[in-house]
Structure 1
């Protein structure tokens, strides 16, 4: 028996050696789980820079859409078309600020004061009716709710942080829009060779879907903002220009943006009188009905039709986890996830044996 010869040489690998197949298999499994845990921890730590980079890519997609649209008219180099788009954007923003800057600042101060007064009146009435806590309690609850967003987005609330964030987003967007092929190739390099074709196809579809989504959103923002401004001006409601700008900007975030702009508009309307408040309610519902029955279906047919419940759920989740920036990026992220899931389903159908379909 082998036990009678203690000096016999052992030739098989030790259970602790990497040559042992079982040990190598378990180490691979452990490496996968540890890698996933490390990646999740890294995402949590670096979520704010990741969101800023994502916003830069979204801005780059907007610029790229403008460059492609301009290419249908002007047969010149991409760099020149990008320069035209950037210059026109800067001129539009600068001219708007120059012509209406002082008036907008005054109206924004008026809007802040009006909303504060209206909130105090509403809270006092609710407290008197016994259906809500007092004003001081409501303010304390509001501060706690704002503070509970967390450290991830606290610095974005400051003016310097917001301006710095927007500048970084614009710089990233311009650089990516200048040479998108470089970054596309760089992303493909980090993917294994056998998966690059599928990755490139999915990435191309994501970019196309994102351009269409943003084009539709920009068109909807312009239509809703201009209509609201004109209607409020004709009704004689104060701060019509600011409310139109806010409505157009919040239209980028459907569902939630329309609700917030409606609350602001009706609050300002009732601050000027009951008749103005009723007119603001009427205008809000008319514009939203026109937007929902005419603008959105028309834009959705030509761009991206995302299910409302899915987008609203994603907006709530993203805003809770990542704050305002997450809320703004919820729809682009949803569109890209939808494309990836659709491509996965297509690939599964292509790989399914033909006999299984019969």
Structure 2
């Protein structure tokens, strides 16, 4: 049912007033969209928890399948053992590794002003920097405030982790949600498949397998590469006398999870920290960083990741920016698997059209080829 306003008579100039017509369907559609957006904002945290749990289930799916093949366990048992093992490992790591690292990080933050003093008081470093920029004075003038801000942020974060009951509840919810999704994943995929015709079923099967492979291999491969990066940078920092080598290795490993830019940022931090030991150690660290980045880009990533995330550099940067803005650091880390999944879906949905367009181009090019051969 709609009510369209009759157009008004045109004015002598030939231009009548603009009339806008709204149908009941349009009003209802706009209301529904606004309601969905408002509901999403209200339940945003729950939606994000569900999304991350689904993402984790995709990442761990190949591991569950491997456990089922090797141990002949059922899906429920294999998924439960895997999730409980990872949870126990995380708890042990939190007590054995994270707690001492938190103290080390606090010492590192408190020592930042002294590190900058050491860099500034180094005659060779100071003369070289002064000949190129006025950075030492700027950094020295602001480093105390920066250190205080970082310390306050770190202290607040530690306080939330220790006393935040809601955080613990969210983690437990996410763990069990991931477990149930892993157990029911084939059933959920089959439920969607039952609604499709044979051709759509084949396409759905291809898409799900490719998405699971892309997400799992990309994330597990990135974690493995980040461990290699953090270990190498940490050992290099220790060998060159860089302050807080363990912290430097952890920072490098975490930042290396961020595609494209993470390794560069961690390398800059390491080189700047190594300046406390002089120009020569900093140059050596710079060489190590540059060589490792080439090895990672041209050896580790093609070998470990393969073609799981065959995404162009432009879309990698774009996805990191967009998902980083939406989900923070976690969004930047999972950006490439998400954009790879979108690429897989788009490729499958447009496969038939691309095939038809290729045939049309071949037909269009045939007369030209025949005329060329005649000549």
Per the alignment, residue 51 of structure 1 pairs with 48
Offset of residue 224 of structure 1:
2.0
**Contact 2:309 / 2:337 at 8 angstroms: preserved in 1?**
no
Structure 1 residues 102 and 199, CA, compared in 2 at 3 Å: closer, same or farther? Answer: closer
**Contact 2:59 / 2:212 at 8 angstroms: preserved in 1?**
no
Offset of residue 136 of structure 1:
9.3
Match status 1:65 vs 2:70:
no
- TM-score normalised to structure 1 length: 0.71
Per the alignment, residue 281 of structure 1 pairs with 286
CA distance, structure 1, for counterparts of residue 250 and residue 135 of structure 2 = 35
RMSD across aligned positions (CA): 4.4
Structure 1 residues 135 and 246, CA, compared in 2 at 3 Å: closer, same or farther? Answer: closer
Give matches, 1:299-314, under 5 Å: 299-314=304-319
- TM-score normalised to structure 2 length: 0.68
Offset of residue 346 of structure 1:
0.8
Per the alignment, residue 240 of structure 2 pairs with 235
Per the alignment, residue 19 of structure 1 pairs with none
- Secondary structure at the residue paired with 2:252? helix
- Secondary structure at the residue paired with 1:238? coil
Offset of residue 343 of structure 1:
1.4
CA distance, structure 2, for counterparts of residue 183 and residue 282 of structure 1 = 50
Per the alignment, residue 230 of structure 2 pairs with 225
CA distance, structure 2, for counterparts of residue 257 and residue 163 of structure 1 = 29
CA distance, structure 2, for counterparts of residue 222 and residue 119 of structure 1 = 28
Structure 1 residues 48 and 220, CA, compared in 2 at 3 Å: closer, same or farther? Answer: same
Mean CA deviation greater in 128-137 or 216-225:
128-137
Give matches, 1:100-139, under 5 Å: 100-101=97-98, 103-115=100-112, 135=142
CA distance, structure 1, for counterparts of residue 159 and residue 283 of structure 2 = 33
Aligned positions, number: 327
CA distance, structure 1, for counterparts of residue 359 and residue 183 of structure 2 = 45
Unaligned runs of 5+ in 2: 4-21, 121-129, 364-375
Structure 1 residues 121 and 229, CA, compared in 2 at 3 Å: closer, same or farther? Answer: closer
Q: How big is each residue's C-alpha offset from its partner over 1:202-250, in whole Å with a ceiling of 9 and x where there is no partner?
A: 3443233212222322322232223223333333333323322332233
Per the alignment, residue 85 of structure 1 pairs with 82
Structure 1 residues 304 and 347, CA, compared in 2 at 3 Å: closer, same or farther? Answer: same
**Contact 1:221 / 1:248 at 8 angstroms: preserved in 2?**
yes
Unaligned runs of 5+ in 1: 1-13, 17-24, 147-153
CA distance, structure 1, for counterparts of residue 311 and residue 119 of structure 2 = 36
Give matches, 1:180-199, under 5 Å: 180-184=185-189, 197=201
Offset of residue 182 of structure 1:
3.8
Higher RCO (C-alpha under 8 Å, 6+ residues apart): 1
- Secondary structure at the residue paired with 2:70? coil
